[in-house]
């Protein structure tokens, strides 16, 4: 009996194919690491080296210059330049203080974070504590910003808040003077809130829903009033989630690019925008040094947060959730009225912030200069396709490129993401390190990755006498895959982690190799999450702007977001028309994510 399984494998030893299968996971892991090194760590590394290399030697001069330059660091930079601290402090509190680009970036990120939390918390309260028709739909819509191309959002905001935008049309109809919010800090902060408030709402709602009703009932039975029970029991469980949302929002908005580029221009440049400008001006060393300073700040915030999270992560599972209140109570008390009036006001505000940009964009795409409904912008796109000059953007290649790159990026990102998900859900020493190394692309700015790929791969590298170059298109696919695969990991890993370990162990005891168990047991069980991850990767690629804008220069490799950016300054109509096309494509991705991703998403 004992030798049967062995006999089947060809004699006393395990057969060659069997050994190969046993190593398959290792093989995949090596391939994924290699891809990450080539497409991420090496390019980012070259940027780093670029920043410290001066005339063949290493120097931190570029950093020192930036840190000492008030143009970048505002008044505090003078401290490093040797000014008296007191004088600096006095200037800092004076009204005409200089923040510098880094200071401004942090300032707008902080404002955006506050706005996002302010806009996100009432939504979390509404979604977690009330029952009303459409609640589930709205809850699932909170994932949308992850897949919404930011350049499209920018178009929507221009269509809403621009000189001829919806807002001014409404104000004009009411007989009020027009306002021009475009190229103001307010527009940027609102756009960031549009983007990040749903994230805050999403993580907070999840935490709120996992509060055990039993814990509150216990507090109440021990003598705590409703408010006291909220402060003592609910708030401590919810506020780590709020902090998660806030930390992520700060990091995202600190590295913001397309929104500021489109809504702020170079007058309101953030670090990322300025890095882009330096790249365009071919000041690579300064761009690299600035990008690294940005990276250090983002990673610092993220690491500080992760350290905090590691200490305070308690997620009760299987708790009995709080019962939801009806939105319209049968016999409302005065207090209930106040709450509901407040919520109604909130709904109006959020409708303006969240719906107006999208609606305005769609409206603008079918509105002519005379205000009548028209398809002229779409016709313009079609005409431009036929008549465009060599330097002009043709719509069809943009759409074709976008779809092609997205398919390629998804095909690359999916196996990478699954492998990393498998590796990070197993227990072993150094798992956290693997996790961090694999997730780093989330934190590093697309400009740096794009710049690295441009300098490292597109311009070519010399390896053992061979000159290796990649075309712009290949570099874009790789950059998109690197940007998208963390989302695959984040959708697939929770599913894998939630799987009972004994399922895999049963399969293995029955004779399946590790890879076979993955194929036969784990993947079929987390399949919806894998498909959702693929849709994520696809949507991220479709909307990716930052790395693409660096890599697409010169090459005939522009995508829809790039086309929109080219149109946006000159012709809003075609930009909005292109935006609608983009909206349709990403909308389809969202439907796939929503239908299949379920609640297993990690983000």
Partner 1 sequence: MRAVGSERGSDTDFDRKEGGRRADAGRDSDRDDDPVAVELDGVTKRYGETAAVDDVSLRIREGEFFTLVGPSGCGKTTTLRLIAGFEDPTGGTVRFGGESVAGVPPEARDVGVVFQNYALFPHMTVGENVAYGLNFAEPPGGVTREERVAELLELVDLPDSADRDPESLSGGQKQRVAMARALAPGPDVLLLDEPMSALDARLRERLRVQVRAIQSELGITTVYVTHDQEEALAISDRVAVMSGGTPEQVAPPRTVYREPATRFVAEFVGDNNVFTGRVVDAQADGPGDAGTDTGGDDGGRRSEAGTRDENDMRDENEVGIEVDGRRFRVGLDDRTARESPDPGDRLTACVRPEDLRIGGDRNRITATVANAEFLGETTRMTLDWGGRDLVVRARDPLSGEVDVGFDPVDAHVVGVERQ
Contact partners, residue 212, CB within 8 Å, separation at least 6: 316, 319, 320, 321
Is residue 2 at the binding interface for partner 1, with CB under 8 A as the rule? Answer: yes
- Specify the residue, 14 or 277, whose C-beta has the smaller distance to partner 1: 14
For residue 97, the surrounding DSSP H or E stretch is: none
Is residue 4 at the binding interface for partner 1, with CB under 8 A as the rule? Answer: yes
Is residue 178 at the binding interface for partner 1, with CB under 8 A as the rule? Answer: no
Burial of 561 (0-12, 13-18, 19+ CB in 10 A): buried
Smallest gap from residue 199 Cβ to partner 1 (A): 32
- Specify the residue, 14 or 135, whose C-beta has the smaller distance to partner 1: 14
Smallest gap from residue 18 Cβ to partner 1 (A): 8
Report yes or no: 76 and 90 within 8 Å, Cβ to Cβ.
no
Is residue 14 at the binding interface for partner 1, with CB under 8 A as the rule? Answer: yes
- Specify the residue, 312 or 506, whose C-beta has the smaller distance to partner 1: 506
Tokens 């398919």 sit on residue: 407
| Radius of gyration of the chain from its Cα atoms, rounded to whole angstroms | 26
Is residue 214 at the binding interface for partner 1, with CB under 8 A as the rule? Answer: no
Q: Which residues between 336 and 375 bind partner 1 (CB under 8 A)? A: none
Tokens 């890879």 sit on residue: 515
Give the C-alpha separation, 18 to 20, whole Å: 5
In the shown chain, the binding pattern of residues 499 to 538 toward partner 1, with x for contact by CB under 8 A and - for none, equals: -x-xx-xxxxxxxxxx-x---xx--xx-------------
Is residue 16 at the binding interface for partner 1, with CB under 8 A as the rule? Answer: no
- Please spell the DSSP secondary structure of 252-301, one letter per residue: HHHT--HHHHHHTTTTT--HHHHHHHHHHTT-HHHHHHHHHHHHHHHHHH
Smallest gap from residue 523 Cβ to partner 1 (A): 10
- Please spell the DSSP secondary structure of 551-581, one letter per residue: HSTTTT---HHHHHHHHHTT-HHHHHHHHHH
For residue 364, the surrounding DSSP H or E stretch is: helix 356-365
Smallest gap from residue 532 Cβ to partner 1 (A): 17
Crossing angle of helices 395-425 and 472-498, in 10° steps, is 40
Smallest gap from residue 420 Cβ to partner 1 (A): 22
Contacts of 363-370 with C-beta under 8 Å, sequence gap 24+, read 363/159, 363/166, 364/159, 364/165, 364/166, 364/572, 364/573, 364/576, 365/573, 365/576, 365/577, 365/579, 365/580, 367/573, 368/573
Is residue 563 at the binding interface for partner 1, with CB under 8 A as the rule? Answer: no
- Specify the residue, 128 or 521, whose C-beta has the smaller distance to partner 1: 521
- Specify the residue, 15 or 59, whose C-beta has the smaller distance to partner 1: 15
- Specify the residue, 11 or 326, whose C-beta has the smaller distance to partner 1: 11
Query: In 417-477, where do the E strands start and end?
Result: 461-463, 466-468
Beta bridge partners of 321: 212
- Paired tokens of 104: 């401004």
Is residue 1 at the binding interface for partner 1, with CB under 8 A as the rule? Answer: yes
Is residue 469 at the binding interface for partner 1, with CB under 8 A as the rule? Answer: no
Query: Applying CB under 8 A, what is the total number of residues that bind partner 1?
Result: 27
Is residue 431 at the binding interface for partner 1, with CB under 8 A as the rule? Answer: no
Contact partners, residue 568, CB within 8 Å, separation at least 6: 151, 154, 155, 158, 262, 575
Is residue 550 at the binding interface for partner 1, with CB under 8 A as the rule? Answer: no
Point out which span in 6-14, 323-331, 335-343, 565-573 binds partner 1 (CB under 8 A).
Answer: 6-14
- Specify the residue, 1 or 310, whose C-beta has the smaller distance to partner 1: 1
Smallest gap from residue 8 Cβ to partner 1 (A): 6
In the shown chain, the binding pattern of residues 22 to 61 toward partner 1, with x for contact by CB under 8 A and - for none, equals: x---------------------------------------
- Specify the residue, 34 or 509, whose C-beta has the smaller distance to partner 1: 509
Is residue 17 at the binding interface for partner 1, with CB under 8 A as the rule? Answer: no
Residues lying near partner 1 in the complex (CB under 8 A): 1-2, 4-6, 8-9, 14, 22, 500, 502-503, 505-514, 516, 520-521, 524-525
């Amino acid at each position: 009996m004992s030798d049967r399984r062995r006999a089947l494998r060809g004699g006393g030893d395990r057969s060659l194919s069997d050994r190969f299968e046993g190593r398959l996971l290792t093989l995949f892991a090596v391939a994924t690491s290699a891809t990450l090194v080539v497409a991420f760590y090496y390019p980012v590394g070259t940027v780093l080296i670029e920043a410290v290399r001066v005339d063949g030697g290493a120097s931190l001069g570029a950093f020192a210059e930036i840190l000492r330059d008030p143009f970048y660091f505002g008044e505090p930079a003078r401290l490093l330049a040797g000014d008296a601290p007191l004088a600096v402090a006095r200037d800092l509190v004076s009204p005409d203080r200089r923040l510098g680009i880094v200071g401004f970036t942090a300032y707008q990120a902080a404002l955006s974070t506050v706005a996002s939390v302010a806009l996100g918390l009432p939504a979390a309260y509404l979604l977690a504590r009330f029952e009303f028709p459409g609640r589930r739909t709205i809850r699932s819509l909170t994932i949308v910003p992850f897949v919404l191309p930011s350049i499209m959002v920018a178009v929507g905001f221009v269509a809403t808040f621009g000189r001829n935008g919806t807002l001014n049309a409404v104000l004009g109809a009411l007989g009020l003077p027009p306002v021009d919010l475009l190229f103001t800090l307010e527009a940027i902060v609102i756009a960031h809130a549009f983007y990040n408030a749903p994230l805050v709402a999403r993580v907070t709602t999840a935490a709120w829903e996992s509060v055990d009703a039993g814990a509150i009932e216990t507090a109440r039975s021990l003598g705590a009033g409703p408010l006291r029970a909220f402060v003592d029991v609910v708030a401590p469980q919810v506020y780590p989630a709020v902090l998660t949302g806030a930390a992520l929002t700060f990091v995202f908005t600190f590295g913001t690019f397309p929104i500021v580029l489109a809504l702020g221009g170079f007058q309101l440049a953030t670090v990322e925008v300025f890095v882009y400008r330096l790249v365009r001006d071919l000041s690579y060393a300064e761009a690299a040094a600035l990008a690294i300073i940005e990276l250090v700040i983002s990673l610092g915030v993220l690491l500080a947060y992760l350290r905090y999270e590691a200490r305070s992560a308690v997620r009760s599972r299987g708790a009995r959730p709080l019962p939801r209140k009806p939105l319209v109570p049968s016999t409302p008390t005065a207090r209930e009225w106040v709450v509901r009036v407040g919520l109604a006001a909130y709904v109006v505000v959020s409708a303006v912030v969240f719906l107006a940009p999208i609606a305005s964009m769609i409206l603008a795409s079918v509105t002519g200069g005379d205000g009548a409904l028209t398809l002229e912008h779409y016709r313009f796109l079609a005409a431009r396709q036929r008549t465009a000059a060599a330097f002009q953007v043709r719509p069809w290649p943009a759409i074709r490129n976008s779809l092609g790159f997205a398919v390629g990026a998804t095909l690359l990102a999916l196996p990478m993401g699954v492998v990393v998900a498998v590796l990070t859900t197993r227990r072993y020493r150094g798992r956290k390190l693997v996790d961090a190394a694999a997730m780093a692309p989330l934190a590093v700015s697309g400009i740096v990755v794009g710049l690295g790929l441009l300098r490292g791969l597109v311009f070519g590298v010399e390896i053992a006498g061979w000159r290796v170059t990649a075309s712009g298109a290949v570099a874009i696919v790789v950059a998109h895959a690197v940007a998208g695969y963390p989302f695959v990991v984040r959708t697939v890993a929770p599913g894998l982690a939630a799987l009972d370990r004994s399922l895999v162990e049963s399969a293995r005891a029955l004779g399946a190799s590790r890879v076979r168990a993955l194929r036969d047991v784990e993947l079929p069980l987390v399949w919806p999450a894998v498909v959702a991850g693929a849709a994520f990767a696809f949507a991220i690629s479709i909307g990716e702007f930052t790395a693409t804008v660096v890599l697409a220069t010169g090459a005939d490799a522009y995508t829809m977001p790039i086309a929109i950016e080219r149109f946006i300054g000159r012709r809003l109509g075609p930009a909005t028309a292109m935006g609608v096309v983009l909206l349709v494509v990403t909308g389809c991705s969202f439907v796939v994510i929503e239908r299949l991703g379920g609640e297993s998403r990690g983000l």
